[in-house]
Structure 1
Amino acid sequence: MKAVRLESIGKIFLRQIEVPEPGPDDLLVKVEACGVCGTDRHLLHGEFPSSPPVTLGHEFCGIVVEAGSAVRGIAPGARVTGDPNISCGRCAQCRAGRVNLCRNLRAIGIHRDGGFAEYVIVPQKQAFEIPLSLDPVHGAFCEPLACCLHGIDMAGIRAGSTVVILGGGVIGLLTVQLARLAGATTVVLSTRQASKRRLAEEVGATATIDPAATDIIEAIAGPSGLVPGGADVVIECAGVAETVRQSTRLAKAGGTVVVLGVLPQDEKVEIEPFDLLFRELRVLGSFINPFTHRRAADLVASGAIEIDKLISRRVSLDEAPGIIANPPAAGEVKVLVIPSIE
């Protein structure tokens, strides 16, 4: 079968490899769609830890074609979305219910072979069934949506909250929708790209800001800003140092900042501790998707989340290495790899 292999840092190729065989607790899944994530680019450049050589791709869905001897409840022919993050269930963090902080965490598409391939192995406990009537490309959005759900949970958004979202990529645009579903009445998104600002307003943002054209702090949190005095919640979704620096200045006194975007490992950001103390800000990191994948799958299946507008293009496995090796195109939100495309 074809598979997109990270062979070492900086080296990614399309290869022919053997179709994997499922173990007793595994499912062999024929991949229908797998999303390209910013993390895939971080993996290529060695900015996020991985275990090459490995097949990339952690945002996938597909059809079960074979089930291991111990599998119960999911049969061949079912459509599943895979939670890529496999916790050990034994360490102190797992026993405390913090499975995303598992000391032995391993992820499909990062530490073991993933979904940029014709087939992928998914342990049954990581598989969540979704309707066969659902557009299969929608299933590839369950994993990023699950990560956004965890960030929303941590943010504690309540009805009537004001929310600022920094970053107009797929994470920011999904978070806009979740913030509105959580009851936020004001949701402001900041991004430099005009097409993404328009899209944000189409999916629920009450206002957008171009940070390149204005003083973002004054425009949002200033006396005459969109959210005078700052927002109840600020969610950083861009994964860049500049927006992390902005985030604490955009939150109101007593507000909450959630860092959801992935910055390169070892990148440093200056933050004034006195400001955190004096205004009693809560600054939280939100890491992956503990116990949110089922909720994400149900949300996607319900149609409550706008997905089609977030799809920029669909490409083949042959095209995927070049997509991952290059920066996103202007205005690009989500590229989906479809193995059935020749």
Structure 2
Amino acid sequence: MATMRAVRTRKDLGQAVLVDDAEIPSVAAYPDHVLVKPSYVGINHCDYFTVDHPFIFQPEINLGSEFCGKVVDIGAHCQGIRKIGERVAGCTFTCASAMPYAGCHADYFLIKGDTLLLVDNMGDQILEEQAAGLGVAFSTVFQTMYHLMKLPFPSLEDWAVETEPLPKRAILIAGGATNTGMIAIQFAKLSGLTVLTTCSPHNFALMKDLGAHATSDYKDTESCIADIKAALQAEGLDKEPMLALDCVGNFGSPEVCAGVLPAGSTYVSVAPPSLPGRDDVTLEFAQGQRVLGDSYTFNGQVIPAYPEVSEPWKAFARLSERLISAGRIRLSPVQVQGGLDKVLETLELLREWKFSATKAVCKV
């Protein structure tokens, strides 16, 4: 059996380690997949959730949820990939029950070919380490803003989408300086929304440069709520149902959202959503992995595939590549933390929220 390096969970909850004897998977058993050799992998909060939390933990699986790399083998029934050597990026989901080799913190992994972002479509200015941070942010933005929230796709020259004009509408992006938050701000602006966001004051200028209409410091909950309410009132939107995408799900962000959302609003969180006392707000859980079109295991249950998410994702992926190439979507700054041997160390830094307005990646 040919083997490779991989960051894997152990038998017990909370344990993960870098091994050098993991099995190299093959497309022979997964003919609609490609085998990818990553060049860089993104490091995400969901990676340590996979290790630490019993509702998604599985023993002896490879970690890793986003990447940039090259296709080294193509399954017999694979779609969406043009050639071996194609540079690709995207998201993976280690708990996808139908795909035990999904985790990308490894020398090789498998993924469905028609779910991938094609890096060569994004323009010559995009670095592979930047592309490694796209998968989780883009899939989360698509699943929350364009599936759950049903916003219109941005238009781009010959990619105009026929939709009814939207009334003036606001969105609060809690955690705007996270990687997902920075991408979400830009897409929300392109889709015609008035964007408000929370972050640290040293990131206010960057958030406004990305498209935020107003910013507020999340560290003082009462003051943050007052600032956002004042901004909504100034725009005449304080009584209108609005949207909230919580890219943190902790550290007071749910409380801020609960304090500002008018009745009839929609709150989507990257953590299991809870807004005590707000029965008048629709709660949704951000699950970007649904774009993969696989079933997956969550809290001991197998969740079926969602073709109503995975099919339109393909069009969104092509549009996103064009938006990046045209300079309409800017990618986050990156910090390369080292190689695969630094993944677990970087996860510890993420547990402490040590990264702000930057994306942590490791070179494979």
Above 0.5 in TM-score?
yes
Whose helix fraction is larger, Structure 1's or Structure 2's? 2
The two structures, once aligned, show a CA RMSD in angstroms of 3.0
CA contact (8 A) 1:238 1:262 kept: yes
- Partners in 1 of 2:231 and 2:278 — Cα distance? 22
TM-score, normalised with respect to structure 1 = 0.77
CA contact (8 A) 1:142 1:300 kept: no
Q: Confirm whether residue 197 of structure 1 aligns to residue 193 of structure 2.
A: no
1:155: which partner in 2?
Answer: 149
1:69 deviates by: 3.8
Letter in 1 for 2:210: V
CA contact (8 A) 2:92 2:104 kept: no
Q: Confirm whether residue 179 of structure 1 aligns to residue 180 of structure 2.
A: no
- Partners in 1 of 2:274 and 2:246 — Cα distance? 15
Cα deviations across residues 293-317 of structure 1 (Å, max 9, x unaligned)? 43135414531321143x2444311
2:284: which partner in 1?
Answer: 284
Cα deviations across residues 235-271 of structure 1 (Å, max 9, x unaligned)? 22212273223323312344x22313224xxx96522
1:318: which partner in 2?
Answer: 341
CA distance 1:284–1:269, change in 2 (3 Å): closer
SS in 2 for 1:49: coil
Q: List aligned pairs for 1:191-270, cutoff 5 A.
A: 191=199, 193-213=200-220, 215-222=223-230, 229=238, 232-240=242-250, 242-254=252-264, 256-263=265-272, 269-270=275-276
Q: Confirm whether residue 67 of structure 1 aligns to residue 37 of structure 2.
A: no
Q: List aligned pairs for 1:158-169, cutoff 5 A.
A: 158=166, 160-168=168-176, 169=178
- Partners in 1 of 2:225 and 2:7 — Cα distance? 42
CA distance 1:249–1:296, change in 2 (3 Å): farther
CA distance 1:175–1:230, change in 2 (3 Å): farther
Cα deviations across residues 162-215 of structure 1 (Å, max 9, x unaligned)? 22211131122211111101111x311112x23443332231112210132452
- Partners in 2 of 1:23 and 1:247 — Cα distance? 47
2:6: which partner in 1?
Answer: 3
Q: Confirm whether residue 21 of structure 1 aligns to residue 21 of structure 2.
A: no
1:71 deviates by: 3.8
SS in 1 for 2:84: coil
CA distance 1:195–1:119, change in 2 (3 Å): farther
Moved more, 22-31 or 224-233: 224-233
CA distance 1:330–1:113, change in 2 (3 Å): closer
1:302: which partner in 2?
Answer: 323
CA contact (8 A) 2:78 2:112 kept: no
- Partners in 2 of 1:253 and 1:23 — Cα distance? 52
2:160: which partner in 1?
Answer: none
Letter in 2 for 1:270: P
1:81: which partner in 2?
Answer: 89
CA distance 1:150–1:159, change in 2 (3 Å): farther
Gaps of 5+ in 1: 87-103
Gaps of 5+ in 2: 152-165, 292-308
TM-score, normalised with respect to structure 2 = 0.73
Cα deviations across residues 54-111 of structure 1 (Å, max 9, x unaligned)? 111121232111223444654211122345359xxxxxxxxxxxxxxxxx95376xx5
SS in 2 for 1:318: helix
- Partners in 2 of 1:75 and 1:224 — Cα distance? 49
- Partners in 2 of 1:136 and 1:259 — Cα distance? 30
1:46 deviates by: 1.8
Aligned partner (choices 139, 146, 152) of residue 131 of structure 2: 139
- Partners in 2 of 1:268 and 1:282 — Cα distance? 10
CA contact (8 A) 1:151 1:258 kept: no
- Partners in 1 of 2:5 and 2:230 — Cα distance? 53
